[in-house]
Amino acid sequence: MDATPPLLSSTAIPAACETRSLRKTFAATRAVDGLDLRVPRGMLYAFLGPNGAGKTTSLRMIAGLLKPDAGEILIEGVSLRENPTAAKQPLAYVPDDPVLYGKLRPLEHLEFVAALWSLPAATAQPRAEELLQTLGLWEKRGDYIESFSRGMKQKMALAAALIHAPTLMLLDEPLTGLDAASARLVKDLLNDFVRRGGTVILTTHILDVAERMAERIGIIHAGKLAAEGTLAELRERAGQTGGTLEDVFLRVTGAAPELPPLLG
């Protein structure tokens, strides 16, 4: 019988996304302060932190929507600064409040987004139909997007992000506004995306979701990566053996009563 091959460490797996000494300041506030982040391919990575910690600013810089003051961003090994077009090609970004074209119907919107990615219609149309069916929006294909609920718009934004078949997805609070059934559907879709070799970086305030879904977790605090690793590694470092991710998070960020933040 063949021996089971050893599991690769996270450092042995090529990075889908990497930031080096990333910095961004707004007025006198340092939103991101020397962020060094490495997310291996083929995993769901939870990027957590309290409000104002720098999560959204970091994702916007990685997505190429915000220029960093300093530092380097690599997407699938390609420098975003030196070759932005190639670096953005495998990337999809869904903000917490996505912008959609309300005067379009779902298929029209997806075909429009596909055209922006230069996808031929013969490829875009069946892919758009499949995404709408998968996300439970097929019955709404004749309605204008402006009539959609927040949860439906969130799923529509996810469909638009997936239309060009990205390999790396950046999701800022992707479960916001979703009911239990829709949230389950989106979680299943993300898990399937990762099983097929894709990489997901998501922010969420729902720590139970991160605890159940993420293979690795990064916690940002005051613009710096305060802790990073598997849940077991984070528990050990925070001295919270057997604790929940919430216990670890509160310890790392200094929000636990009578405990200072665990930094460095």
149-177 pLDDT per residue, tens: 988 999 999 999 999 999 999 999 998 87
If asked whether residues 85 and 175 sit together in one domain, one would say yes
The sign of the CA dihedral 202, 203, 206, 210 is: positive
The sign of the CA dihedral 154, 157, 162, 163 is: positive
- DSSP classification of residue 256: S
> How confident is the model over 25-46, as pLDDT tens digits?
998 889 999 999 999 999 999 9
If asked whether residues 230 and 119 sit together in one domain, one would say no
If asked whether residues 260 and 175 sit together in one domain, one would say yes
Q: Is the pLDDT of residue 253 over 90?
A: no
Q: What confidence score (pLDDT) does residue 251 get?
A: 87
> How confident is the model over 220-239, as pLDDT tens digits?
999 999 999 999 999 888 88
CA distance 76 to 111: 26
Q: What confidence score (pLDDT) does residue 256 get?
A: 56
> How confident is the model over 2-32, as pLDDT tens digits?
444 444 556 678 999 999 999 999 988 899 9
Residue 78 lies in a domain: yes
- 21 C-beta neighbours (distance < 10 Å), count: 12
Torsion of CA 104, 109, 115, 120, to 10 degrees: -110
Burial class (CB in 10 A: 0-12, 13-18, 19+), 219: buried
CA distance 111 to 72: 33
> How confident is the model over 176-212, as pLDDT tens digits?
878 898 899 999 999 999 999 999 999 999 999 999 9
Domain span including residue 32: 13-90+167-264
CA 27, 32, 33: angle at the middle one, nearest 5? 100
Burial class (CB in 10 A: 0-12, 13-18, 19+), 136: middle
Residue 28 lies in a domain: yes
If asked whether residues 183 and 153 sit together in one domain, one would say no
CA 30, 31, 34: angle at the middle one, nearest 5? 75
Domain final position from 134, 165, 196: 165
Residue 7 lies in a domain: no
Collapsed DSSP state (helix, strand, coil) of residue 15:
strand
Burial class (CB in 10 A: 0-12, 13-18, 19+), 89: middle
Least confident window among 74-78, 214-218, 250-254: 250-254
Q: Is the pLDDT of residue 146 over 90?
A: yes
If asked whether residues 122 and 252 sit together in one domain, one would say no
Angle separating helix axes 150-162 and 121-134, nearest 10 degrees:
140
> How confident is the model over 82-141, as pLDDT tens digits?
999 999 999 999 998 888 999 999 999 999 999 999 999 999 999 999 999 999 999 999
CATH value at residue 218: 3.40.50.300
